């Protein structure tokens, strides 16, 4: 199966986001590189608003991701609650 990834800057805002992603995607693997974290996952990866909100204790708009996002791959499906990356194969 193909891998998708999302890469985020390493900073205080993304700490909880990364934590939430890893909790919601047990199959995902975080690779730490200078100033960034790249999260790889077989098949698909989901970023869930509610999981992030639970960790940061405030409302979170998924589009806030854009501020610290470095890169990603896969087809993007974004709703108010979830952002999903996936390949069709």
- Per CB under 8 A, residues contacting other proteins are 2-5, 7, 9, 33-36, 38, 63-64, 66-80, 87-89
Nearer to other proteins, 22 or 70 (CB): 70
**Rounded Cα gap, residues 15 and 8, in angstroms:** 10
Nearer to other proteins, 54 or 78 (CB): 78
Q: Phi and psi (nearest 5°) for 57?
A: 70, 25
Nearer to other proteins, 6 or 20 (CB): 6
CB of 60 to other proteins, least distance (A): 13
Length of the chain: 89
User: Helix (H, G, I), strand (E, B), or coil: what is residue 89?
Assistant: coil
CB of 59 to other proteins, least distance (A): 12
CB of 58 to other proteins, least distance (A): 16
Q: Which of 30, 12, 28, 1 is nearest to 84 (CA)?
A: 28
Helices (H), strands (E): how many in the chain?
3, 7
């Amino acid at each position: 199966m193909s891998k998708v990834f999302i890469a985020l800057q390493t900073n205080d805002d993304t700490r909880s986001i990364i934590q939430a992603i890893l909790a919601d995607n047990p199959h995902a693997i975080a690779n730490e590189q200078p100033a960034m974290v790249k999260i790889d996952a077989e098949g698909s990866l989901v970023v869930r608003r509610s999981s992030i909100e639970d960790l940061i204790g405030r409302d979170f708009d998924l589009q806030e991701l854009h501020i610290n996002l470095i890169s990603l791959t896969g087809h993007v499906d974004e709703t108010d609650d979830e952002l999903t990356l996936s390949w069709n194969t």
